[in-house]
Amino acid sequence: MAFWRSARKEMAELPAASPEEGPAADPTLGPILDLAAGILKDYGRMALDVEGLAAETLRSWCDHWAQHLLIGAPRPGDPPAPTPIERRDWSGARRFFSERRREEIAFVSRSLTTLQKAIWSFIQTLDGLLVVGDDSDQKLRTELNRLKTVAQGGSAELLRQEVVGTVEEIGRLAQARTRALRERVDGLAGQVRTLHGELEIARQESTTDGLTRVFNRKALDERIDQAASMGRLFGQVSSLLLLDVDHFKLINDTYGHVAGDAVLRELADGLVRAFPVKSELVARFGGEEFAVVLWDTPLAKARVAAERALNTLRSAKILHEGKLVPVTVSVGVAQLRPGEDARPWLERADRALYAAKHEGRNRIACEPG
């Protein structure tokens, strides 16, 4: 509100426009100007640092454009002079907004690609090192265990620092092996150093489901692959939950698709409340199905967590147009087996979900690990 009070004050200090030029000539014009300027102002307030443009600079540009549209203040770089409303640069404001968004999208896409390459290069390097196997493996495992701890709960910057340190140690160990292996590790170090502060931004922008705001299928597949790799490398036990809304087609047919979307959003919110730990990933698997990946969690504990989640969802009151929409959920649980890949693990969780449906729905079924 302070921005708008300041803007109105500046409007009063500008030379008076003729009646046909002012917003008062059309009572609907004021809210439209407020809306356009407000969008630019909010966009600037949430600006990101991208290549070649700092967030603070973008915020300043957005402020100038907002005042130009609202009160006729000069555009960024123009000499100070009031601008009548019919001469304000609406197309320029639109171009400014569109170009900035395209730059942000390209920045996030590049960051994500770099992250994916670094992760896969890291996994491939580890596989090569551990297959050879010698006295240096114990030293390597110590470094990797430190990295594992940071990866499960540390900040993006702390993760970057730990990854760089681990890669440098791998480089020293690899000198005793082969030149080809040393070149692979050095290349990995270069890729990891380019991540810097882009890790968290790229993850958030590219891994969220648009309807429910939980993680999407892409993020789920990556986390399942990571859990399987951790199982092979360190023997870490993880569990996977698959949840499906019972009779969801009937809900859509009875209450409409808007109500169906509301059900999915409410269930997603309930799952996020039931699994608040950062390492517990909640994702939309597809359609009316959700998934939860529980790191370092055996089947017995996963069953308890599934019961807790099911009770949370059962107590949810989902209303549509004042009417209570009855909703139940079936759950399948599977523990990762030693040396198991992601696909068979996911298939076993799906079989457990089918068993829960077959046994009467609104219940949990477990596939033994």
Check: CB of residue 79 under 8 Å from CB of residue 93. Answer: no
For residue 105, pLDDT over 80 is answered with: no
Is 264 in the same domain as 363? yes
171 and 46 within one domain:
no
Q: Are 29 and 125 contained in the same domain?
A: no
pLDDT of residue 175: 66
CATH number of the domain enclosing 357? 3.30.70.270
In whole angstroms, give the CA distance from residue 306 to residue 295.
Answer: 14
Average pLDDT over residues 147-173: 64
Burial class (CB in 10 A: 0-12, 13-18, 19+), 287: exposed
Select from 175, 203, 231 the last residue of a domain: 203
Among 92-101, 148-157, 294-303, 330-339, the range scoring the smallest mean pLDDT is 148-157
> Is the residue at 107 inside a domain?
no
pLDDT tens figures, 342-355: 999 999 999 999 99
Could you read off the pLDDT of 306-362 as tens digits, one per residue?
A: 999 999 999 888 888 888 899 999 999 999 999 999 999 999 999 999 999 999 999
What pLDDT is attached to residue 212?
94
Res 81: pLDDT: 63
282 and 159 in a common domain? no
Higher-confidence residue: 170 or 238?
238
Report yes or no: 271 and 282 within 8 Å, Cβ to Cβ. yes
CB 193 within 8 A of CB 122: no
If asked whether residues 362 and 260 sit together in one domain, one would say: yes
Which pLDDT value is given to residue 323? Answer: 85
Same domain, 16 and 116: no
State the pLDDT confidence band at 12, using cuts at 50, 70 and 90. Answer: very low
Q: Quick: pLDDT tens for 271-282.
A: 999 999 988 999
User: Within this chain, do residues 130 and 171 fall inside the same structural domain, yes or no?
Assistant: yes
Q: Is 99 a catalytic residue?
A: no
Q: How many whole angstroms from its chain centre is CA 8?
A: 38
Q: Does a structural domain hold residue 84?
A: yes
Q: If you average pLDDT over each of 66-70, 113-117, 154-158, 188-192, which comes out highest?
A: 66-70
pLDDT of amino acid 144: 67
The one catalytic residue in 266, 288, 289, 367 is 288
Q: Which pLDDT belongs to residue 313?
A: 92
Q: What pLDDT score does 207 carry?
A: 84
Residues 251 and 333 in one domain: yes
| Closest listed residue to residue 240, CA positions, set 251, 228, 230, 252 | 228
pLDDT-wise least confident of 74-78, 116-120, 222-226, 300-304: 116-120
Q: Is residue 267 part of a domain?
A: yes
For residue 190, is it within any domain? yes
* pLDDT at position 18 over 50: no
My answer on whether 227 and 363 are in the same domain is yes
Residue 94 lies in a domain: no
Inside any domain, residue 312: yes
Note the pLDDT of residue 199: 60
Kindly state the percentage of the chain with pLDDT values over 70.
Answer: 68
pLDDT tens figures, 26-73: 667 778 778 777 888 777 787 777 777 787 888 888 888 888 887 778
Q: Are 235 and 351 within one domain?
A: yes
- Which span out of 9-13, 34-38, 110-114, 359-363 was modeled with the highest average pLDDT? 359-363
Q: How far apart are CA 125 and CA 180, in angstroms?
A: 11
pLDDT bucket at 160, cuts 50 / 70 / 90 = low
Closest to 329 measured CA to CA, from 303, 305, 301, 360: 360
Residues above pLDDT 90, as percent of the chain:
38
Is residue 268 domain-shared with residue 354, that is, in the same domain? Answer: yes
Domain that holds residue 311: 223-367
pLDDT(119) > 60: no
**In this structure, is the dihedral angle defined by the CA atoms of residues 100, 101, 106 and 111, taken in order, positive or negative?**
positive
HSE-up of 203 (CA within 13 Å, CB side)? 16
pLDDT at 204 over 70: no
Q: Could you give the number of structural domains in the chain?
A: 3
Q: Among 136-150, 160-174, 188-202, 248-262, whose mean pLDDT is lowest?
A: 188-202
Residue bearing the bigger pLDDT, 23 or 258: 258
End-to-end CA distance of the chain: 57
Mean pLDDT value of segment 235-259: 95
